[in-house]
Amino acid sequence: MTGYGTGEIWAIIAILAVGTFLIRFSFVGLIGNRPMPDLVMRLLRYTPVAVLPGLVAPLVLWPAATGGDPDAVRLIAAGVALAVGLWTRAVIWSIVAGFMALYAGLGVAALLG
Amino acid sequence: MPAATSKSVYWQGVRAGGPFILVVVPFSLLFGVAATEAGLTLAQAMGFSVLVIAGGSQFAALQMMVDQAGIALVLLAALAVNLRMAMYSASLAPYLGTAPLWQRAVVAYTLFDQTYLASITAYDAQPAMSIRDRFDYFMGVATPITPVWCAMTAVGALAGTAIPPAAALDFALPITFLAMVAPMLRSLPHLAAAGTSAVVALVLNGLPAGTGLLIASACAMAVGVLVEKRT
């Protein structure tokens, strides 16, 4: 990465740090305890389920590791993590199961390939 | 839990944050490795993890820098990835808005996907929690995650390319995000919102970094509320 000087890299880091903090601080810091309209509160209740699936869906379907091509092993691992999470309602078991499926799948793929 | 002391509330938070170490270790390790490969120094990699402390945007910035994008584009892409945290901030405001300013600043600094999700789940489940307990709980969740994030970035930057690609650390992030969201899909509106988010984000994947996700999230929240009204 030759295009950036040391000063430029630190400038990027500093601006990102300040900008990211301001994004995080925005509502909790500035709006404080002013009451928000009922509809806003109802919309906000869906924040986690509205953000995470959209974040994760492209990563599952078009993983960077395969150059963006769908990968059976990663699709299965994602499906296992989701299914175990739905079944056990426990984050930790879902993560463990997802990784086990991923490594088992990669192992099988290596043997076949 | 009205009888809980502030100390025990803090430890409840620590316990809720603990499993996320599994997520944070590979993700931060991978960032350290990627930063070194991209030509950043150890100090610069640490600068990202300690000061920016937002994995998705750190990777986005790194990718744009490797692609030799202009500085403005690097910043735009990385900040766009973090815009979802404005929604987290808004969603926490009713619970933490009356806390002292310094506490809200500390919460903002340690507001990531994991701390947000674990805390909002607890606040929802225990509406009687005091503001002070909510802050202590949040700090508890952040305690196991934050130092590990910074330390493992350093390990990754130092170990560099010694970690084989076969470890498939790239997929740690999707697995853990799925693990976080699956237990929340407990009602039809939540399921509908999640489905909308995934489909719209896939359709809009070609848009510049982060914008598709923002539109998908907004649609998903609206669908959640609409489905809630009909059921």
Neighbours of B56 (CB within 10 A): 21
Structural tokens at position B168: 């498939």
Q: Domain ranges in chain A?
A: 1-34, 38-112
Residue to test with chain A: of B53, B135, B175, most A Cβ within 10 A:
B175
Q: Are residues B164 and B203 in the same domain?
A: no
Segment among A84-93, B6-15, B47-56, B157-166 with least mean pLDDT: B157-166
CA distance A11 to B74: 11
Contacts of A49 in chain B (CB under 8 A): 181, 184-185, 190, 193-194, 197, 220, 224
Q: Is the predicted pLDDT of residue B166 greater than 70, yes or no?
A: no
* pLDDT for res B231: 76
Mean pLDDT of A5-10: 92
Written as one letter, the residue type at A71 is: D
CA distance B154 to B97: 34
Give ipTM to 2 decimals. 0.81
Q: Is the predicted pLDDT of residue A2 greater than 70, yes or no?
A: no
Mean pLDDT of B195-210: 87
For residue A112, give how far its alpha carbon lies from the nearest alpha carbon of chain B (Å). 15
* pLDDT for res B1: 45
Q: Does any domain span residue B107?
A: yes
* pLDDT for res B179: 84
Q: Please report, rounded to a whole number, the percentage of residues in chain B having pLDDT higher than 90.
A: 49
**Predicted confidence (pLDDT) per residue in A49-100, tens digit:** 888 888 889 989 998 788 889 999 999 999 999 999 999 988 778 888 998 9
Q: Is A73 in contact with B170 (CB distance < 8 Å)?
A: no
Q: Are residues B113 and B164 in the same domain?
A: yes
Mean pLDDT of B110-130: 92
Residue B193 in contact with partner chain A when CB distance is under 8 A: yes
Q: Does any domain span residue B4?
A: no
* pLDDT for res B210: 65
Q: Are residues B202 and B216 in the same domain?
A: yes
Q: Does any domain span residue B2?
A: no
Mean pLDDT of B45-71: 85
Q: Identify the domain containing residue B29 by its residue range.
A: 9-184
Q: Is the predicted pLDDT of residue B63 greater than 50, yes or no?
A: yes
Q: Does any domain span residue B3?
A: no
Q: Are residues B100 and B32 in the same domain?
A: yes
Q: Which of B107-111, B114-118, B180-184 has the highest mean pLDDT?
A: B107-111
A-chain residue closest to B46, CA distance: A13
Token look-up 């630190």 returns A10
Q: Does any domain span residue B176?
A: yes
* pLDDT for res B209: 62
Q: Are residues B109 and B211 in the same domain?
A: no
Least CB–CB distance from A48: residue in B75, B85, B181: B181
Q: Are residues B90 and B132 in the same domain?
A: yes
* pLDDT for res A45: 78
CA distance B50 to A110: 37
Mean pLDDT of B194-220: 87
B-chain residue closest to A8, CA distance: B71
**Predicted confidence (pLDDT) per residue in A35-59, tens digit:** 777 787 788 778 878 888 888 899 8
* pLDDT for res A27: 87
Which helix (H) or strand (E) segment holds residue B211: the answer is: helix B211-230
- DSSP class per residue in B176-202: HHHHHHGGG--SHHHHHHHHHHHHHHH
Written as one letter, the residue type at B187 is: S
Mean pLDDT of B122-147: 94
